[in-house]
Amino acid sequence: MINKPETTEYAPFYAGYVQRVPEGSDILMLMSAQTGALAALLNGVSDEKAMERPEAGEWNIKEVLGHLCDTERIFAYRALRISRGDSTPLAGFDQNTYVSGTQFDRRSLADLIEEFASQRKANVLCFKVLTDEESKRIGTASDAEISVRALLYCMVGHVMHHIESLKQDYRVG
């Protein structure tokens, strides 16, 4: 079991994501379960509805999913490098630039859900074999120190954050 990281293992910016994960959770089980939860939440949402914005300037549902895919990929890459002992500082990324840098609207909602599910499955397979030592390794990303296990908790908390937003702001589910 990968224990919850100490607050010293991540920058304050990530606290909201880490704190969303309940104490004593099996992070890998949560990672696995989120793909089904996300798919179930968006079941019945049409591609047209997925392109509506809750407010001007906000992302639409397809862009939210694209953002989840991008962030999943980036956090997993960071976790992989740090878990393998790579101490090279890793650059940050601007989520808004990533979303505006492509056209998620050209893709179907089902395709975006499938991409996220595939990435998440690969990440669970990769990280389920981490040793305790590997999960506690610290690296630098976005000019701040972060542990592998903090990145895994951020991945789950980030999806939790967006599931909450999809329910509240986009009124899905």
Segment 50-105, tens digit of pLDDT = 999 999 999 999 999 999 999 999 999 999 999 999 999 999 999 999 999 999 99
pLDDT on residue 12: 97
Q: Indicate whether this model's pTM tops 0.95.
A: yes
Contact between residue 15 and residue 7 where contact means Cβ atoms under 8 Å apart:
yes
Residue owning tokens 């599910």? 117
Q: How many residues does the chain have?
A: 173
CA–CA gap between residue 38 and residue 30 (Å, rounded): 12
CB neighbours of residue 68 within 10 Å: 24
pLDDT tens profile 14-50? 999 999 999 999 999 999 999 999 999 999 999 999 9
| β-bridge mates for residue 146, sequence order | 139
In degrees and rounded to multiples of 5, residue 92 shows phi and psi of: -80, 180
**Domains in the chain, CATH or no CATH each:** 7-168 (1.20.120.450)
Mean pLDDT, to the nearest integer, of 137-149? 98
Q: For residue 138, give the H/E element and its range.
A: strand 138-141
Q: Would you call 133 exposed, middle or buried from its count of C-beta atoms within 10 A (0-12, 13-18, 19+)?
A: exposed
By three-state DSSP, how is residue 56 classified? coil
